[in-house]
Structure 1
Amino acid sequence: MDLAAWDDGLPNTGFEVFHTASALSVLDRHAAGDLLCLGGYRGEQLVGMLPVFVRSMGRGRVISSPPPGMAVPHLGPIVMPTSPKQRKREKVNREFTNGVLDVLGVESSTTLCRFLGHPEYTDPRPYRWADLSVEPSFTYRLQVGDRSPDDILSSFSRSLRREIRSGEDLDVEIETEGLSGGETVFRETQARYAEQDEGFGPSWPYVRDVIADLDERSRVYVARDPDGEYLGGVITLFSNDAAYYWLGGARATHEGVSINSLLHWRIIRDVAEDPPIESVTEYDLVGANTERLCRYKSKFGADLAPSYVIESGGPAMDAAKGAYRLVNQAVDRVGL
């Protein structure tokens, strides 16, 4: 499928922001490997979609969805069954999975395969039946829907409520900014990683293009003091279903109050009252796999949402897993 057909084929809900054609186009320009957009059909009806990046390495190939190092938390397959019956839904999922694996040649010993599925893809069993490894991963998703900000705040932990109320008494302004604000957020995040002697995968040209090309699907939130000095910020992305706390959030406090907590709260209020896409009803805190960070993120009263990591096995894949995981930990770790 080309990107125009891909964009036309996306369902109304149930996909990630990086499944959109504009985001895939940015990834195609900046990530290693070639983008291949696969579509599965029953007759003329599109029932499955999977974007993969194929990279040649020596005598072998690496097939990934998403590509490593691009701070993409989830991608993987989208399946759109044509019937509410479980038996028929499973059949569509199984046939699409088998077709994808056959086209990609995943059974080859020289092919490494890794998909980071999204929370809406709930049945990865056909991959396990095809002898791939399937392991759970987690994120937190806060259900906003039609709830009022006061109702949402009441579901937070007592300490988080106290911190947010203390922040409302401070002279901290949180506003949305454009590319210049996005670059400040990026540079601060990059510096935070350097301080910890850790690598940071995304480049500024890539992040810049994500902000610019996703248009209404991206917002840069920046917190400043009364003198206009930068206190903290985050780049937030939007699918049709959810807002994502994507990049930023280098840890900072102002007069004893966490700037990150104030940024979270501003984004949540915008989802409730002023989302860029009317169908957005959830807030994804992006990542619930690191115990230390979960102690903080769980204070928001969000639901634990599982997804699945699907990968080929063998010694070569075992050697590659460590590097892949390191470059995809950015969004689960920075600043909290």
Structure 2
Amino acid sequence: MDVTRIGLEDWRDALPSSGYEFFHDPDALSVLDDHTTADLRLYGAYKGQQSVGLLPVFVGEKSLGTTALSPPLSLGVPRLGPLITPNSPKPRKAERINRELATAVVDDLAADRRSTLFRMTCPLEYTDPRPYAWNGFTVEPQFTYVVSLEDCDDLEDVMAGFSKSLRNEMRRYDEIDLTIDTEGIDAALRVYDDVVAQYEEYGDTAPMSRPFLRDLLSTVDDDRWRVYVARTPDGAYQSAILTLYSPDLASYWQGGVTASYEHVSVNNLLHRAILEDLVTDPELDSITGYDLVGANTERLCEYKGKFNGELSPYYVIESSGLEMSIAKSAYRKFSSMK
């Protein structure tokens, strides 16, 4: 097996038809590259002419040393990391590809040096981080909730496992005069303003910039995202959610600030509209799950748990050791100030 650096067009050709996340899309990677000072390195693992593994890494030089990140920080990307796509169903084949890709990338990046900060948040489909642990990196699980859409023919099927209070609120949509429609980039930028305000309430900084969001949505295909906007009969904005789509996963990415209309949570109604489209819109037929993007913050899990989603693990892999702990803390502080 050969592991080599490739360009975006080769990445596009090598990307599988499913099993990857929104930001693995080459157009999304290109926008990430434009909005970070790091250099994008795309690694491809090949057996002959066939791609069997992919890994994007953003490499930067800082005063603290080298950073090798997947995804880059401060752009709101939930997960990136490796894709393993063996041409054989045998587990040992996938394990060998995974091991050889990890070793080759670590060697090329010199990621095991004390002066290199390596951090990777892996996609949901990546279930075997052992090669990185064997190479001396720290591996920790994180979690998200994914609402299963398999065998769901309509919204009632999806809601069957929801909490009673959530089902009751969602069913009130037809009783109130609130409208929910999909809108364009201007609405997405309004969502951005909501996100900024929400982060400021907690004394934090929004995880992305307005130009990045505009460029991202202008560059990727239109069928990769939707903005669901709730408005009153006179057109007054209430709330909105920006969803992202990969071939088999929809993601609740941004938005959904707290709002109430006629004593009903507007966010619950927005999620209702998203879920209804996911099970009835033929354009979304390939999608089998709705990712609530995160189950790691206690104050949010009580609400997200009402959707009865499957608690799904993903892995964070990073440099270990006391020096790296200090470097990671300093780098995150630096990144948040950008």
Q: Secondary structure at the match of 1:206?
A: helix
Structure-2-length-normalised TM-score: 0.93
The 1:86–1:213 alpha-carbon spacing in structure 2 relative to 1, beyond 3 Å, is same
Shift of 1:59: 5.7
Show the 5 A alignment for 1:10-25.
10-25=15-30
Show the 5 A alignment for 1:144-155.
144-147=149-152, 148-155=154-161
Residue 172 (structure 1) aligns with: 178
Residue 167 (structure 2) aligns with: 161
List structure 1 segments (4+ residues) > 3 angstroms apart after TM superposition.
Answer: 275-278, 320-329
Q: Aligned residues, how many?
A: 329
Partner of residue 284 from structure 1, selected from 284, 287, 291: 291
Contact 2:117–2:328 (8 Å) recurs in 1: no
**Cα distance in 2 for residues equivalent to 1:86 and 1:270:** 36
The 1:322–1:165 alpha-carbon spacing in structure 2 relative to 1, beyond 3 Å, is farther
Offset from partner CA, 1:149-200 (integer Å, 9 cap, x none): 1111122110101111233311111110011111111112212222332211
**Cα distance in 2 for residues equivalent to 1:231 and 1:240:** 30
**Cα distance in 2 for residues equivalent to 1:135 and 1:197:** 27
Say yes or no: does 1:241 pair with 2:240. no
Offset from partner CA, 1:220-245 (integer Å, 9 cap, x none): 11111111111000111100111111
Residue 80 (structure 1) aligns with: 85
Residue 208 (structure 1) aligns with: 214
Residue 332 (structure 1) aligns with: none
Contact 2:230–2:239 (8 Å) recurs in 1: yes
Say yes or no: does 1:126 pair with 2:124. no
Show the 5 A alignment for 1:247-262.
247-262=254-269
Q: Secondary structure at the match of 1:13?
A: coil
Contact 2:71–2:121 (8 Å) recurs in 1: yes
Contact 1:68–1:324 (8 Å) recurs in 2: no
Shift of 1:318: 1.1
**Cα distance in 1 for residues equivalent to 2:261 and 2:335:** 29
| One-letter amino acid of the structure 2 residue matched with residue 50 of structure 1 | L
Show the 5 A alignment for 1:1-336.
1-58=6-63, 60-147=65-152, 148-214=154-220, 215-274=222-281, 276-322=283-329
Contact 1:71–1:327 (8 Å) recurs in 2: no
Shift of 1:325: 7.0
Instruction: List alignment gaps of at least 5 residues for structure 1.
Output: 330-336
**Cα distance in 2 for residues equivalent to 1:324 and 1:61:** 11
| One-letter amino acid of the structure 2 residue matched with residue 294 of structure 1 | C
Q: Secondary structure at the match of 2:17?
A: coil
Shift of 1:249: 1.1
Structure-1-length-normalised TM-score: 0.93
In terms of mean alpha carbon deviation, does 156-165 or 83-92 score higher? 83-92
Offset from partner CA, 1:280-327 (integer Å, 9 cap, x none): 121101001111211111111111110000001123421344477789
Instruction: List alignment gaps of at least 5 residues for structure 2.
Output: 1-5
**Cα distance in 2 for residues equivalent to 1:75 and 1:151:** 31
Q: Secondary structure at the match of 2:107?
A: helix
In terms of mean alpha carbon deviation, does 91-100 or 17-26 score higher? 91-100
* Alignment RMSD (CA, Å): 1.9
Contact 1:146–1:272 (8 Å) recurs in 2: no
| One-letter amino acid of the structure 2 residue matched with residue 287 of structure 1 | G
**Cα distance in 2 for residues equivalent to 1:141 and 1:292:** 18
| One-letter amino acid of the structure 2 residue matched with residue 175 of structure 1 | D
